[in-house]
Structure 1
Amino acid sequence: MKRNVRHAARAVLVVLMLACGLLSCRSIPLRELAITDIDNAEQALQQAQTAEAHVYMPEKYLEARMLLRRARSSMRTEEYSKSREFARRSREVVLQAMQQIPGEQQRVKDLAMRLLFSANEAWDSYAQGIEKEYASDELIEIRQLLDGAQEDLNTQRYMDGLKKVQKAHAKITSLPEAIERGRIVRLEQEKKRQQAQKTGAEIIAEANRTAEIIIKAANRQREQLLAETAELAAYARRVEFERMFPSTYKVKSGETLLDIARRHEIFNDKFMWPLLYKANRDQIRDPMVVFPDQTLTVPRDITYEDIIEARKMAEAPPPYDPPATAYTPAVYQRYMQILPPDPLMPEEAEQPAQESEPWLEP
């Protein structure tokens, strides 16, 4: 019995050793194949760089580099199958780019040649005209760019040539502005020369006229700045008005329309409660009864007559002109001629205001 057990153990051990040997023999050539694929992909990428794939086919060149980087990463984690797949894909992308490079080079070359021809014609027209004296420096710079582009095209550096031609075209487009600036400078120089020949009285008179023009321009600019400042200030007041005096109010427990109207951010006047009642008739049946969490509309677009009518309805004592509070500027200007604003502020914002709130004109 013991002899049979020993034989069985030996058989299992032999099977395990053979299995391990087969696995190791299988992984070693797979790793070598992955190394070979990575080497091939690297060589292909180097050839693509030599052929300027990064210039003419930048997207595919970057894709191939990314795949090669992933192949190396998989190699470090011993994922040899993935490493081989990434390396092969990298090489395939490189081969595709290499096939498309000649066509892209020809396209860039043709475009550069067309632009160079039109740029040379434009340069000749400017260089032979009377405008050349107003933009001589710009014309020299453009000529250098065009000559450099021609040299690049002759040496098959098509992309460099195209960039120089495009830069020259941009400068040619801005030549009219440069010529106009040069003409203005020339006119100013001529004007200074003529002014130097004038008598002292003429110079003073000319200076006075110039000063008058400058002062008028400065005054116009000052008025414009004041108007803009006033507009910004009015906008700031409107924003502050909307923040301090909301157009809606949520009823708190125990409050009545009188309590709400008395609040400084609403009307600051308990006798104005009829305005709240009229604006919220759709949800208020009895003006003496409101419920917590009701959202009431606070009317802001009211007239002087609305104020007088509301105070009479609330049986306020005469005069019916209210103290200064948060109404529209038109209403404010009419009743402020009778009663000036009370500058006192309420001690606590959460308590109903007993005194009037200073007017904040939006």
Structure 2
Amino acid sequence: MIIDLTEIQDIHFFFRLQFFKEIYGILWVFVPIFILILGITISVLAIVWLEREISAGIQQRIGPEYTGPFGVLQALADGTKLLFKENLIPSRGDIRLFSFGPSISVISIIISYSVIPFGYNFVLSDLNIGVFLWIAISSIAPIGLLMSGYGSNNKYSFLGGLRAAAQSISYEIPLTLCVLSISLLSNSLSTVDIVDAQSKYGFWGWNLWRQPMGFLVFLISSLAECERLPFDLPEAEEELIAGYQTEYSGIKFGLFYVASYLNLFVSSLFVTVLYFGGSNISIPYIFVSNFFEINKTYGVFVTIISIFITLVKTYLFIFVSITTRWTLPRLRIDQLLNLGWKFLLPISLGNLLLTTSSQLFSL
């Protein structure tokens, strides 16, 4: 029997090629995730710097200016400091709940970024239930805060965790009703379809004009979900000594710090996607409405332009939320809950009923 060595070599090369293709396919799955995490990390650092500069301007004082040019490296310096600080754990607290709470809060918010269309053909996962996935995942974050408050074995921390859970329940319902109204107008729960439905008439096609009351309710509910002033009752330094963060130090405190800005950024992105047309060019002319269709051959250029448009709209809302934080006083806990249950909930429910009626009559 004669063995052809060339055939054996060909078979060996084929299996090696298949192996490298599988390895390449597995590694390629993690590339978009890495790019997404890197992008949102840089955005969080930028938001921290913007908040310090804007707050300094509002209070007529000098902001960070020595750590890097214009103080842009101040947030990075703070993160490095927290990374190397001692990580203290309460002696009588629940170590597992105390340790897992910050991680749950951060991970649940990061998962929400997977359904956001940052630009043209630039979305990690285009799901048919994209907006509902965000609502479901974001509701897990307060559980991490409650775990942290209970696991700290501190009455101030526990009260802060209870406030976080109560505030989340109060404002998630109006938020969900506003998202349902947008889904009815777009006939889809996919974030990509919602953006495409607003692309026909430039800025006149934004859902902002068709859902003005829904936009205001969504805006207020988003600020409450982010626990930003005037809705930062779970932290409330004057009352609860920073609430659920009281016993935390080092990197665990840094995770809470990052989670708050990640939540602000993802809420701003969803305001852009749901009400401001997302990545669409917002000039109401006929020849511009097909801009992306004409330039599909220049995929990278179109993607970069669309991402830039999305970020400009997003940072506009971030500017509004930062200005609100350094302008308005904090509410009381009873005022906070009354606003959610007695004011925003009836308005959002009425808005949903009007939207449903208009859609039924238009059929």
TM-score by length of 2: 0.20
Larger Rg: 1
Higher relative contact order, structure no. (Cα contacts within 8 Å, ≥ 6 residues apart): 2
TM-score by length of 1: 0.20
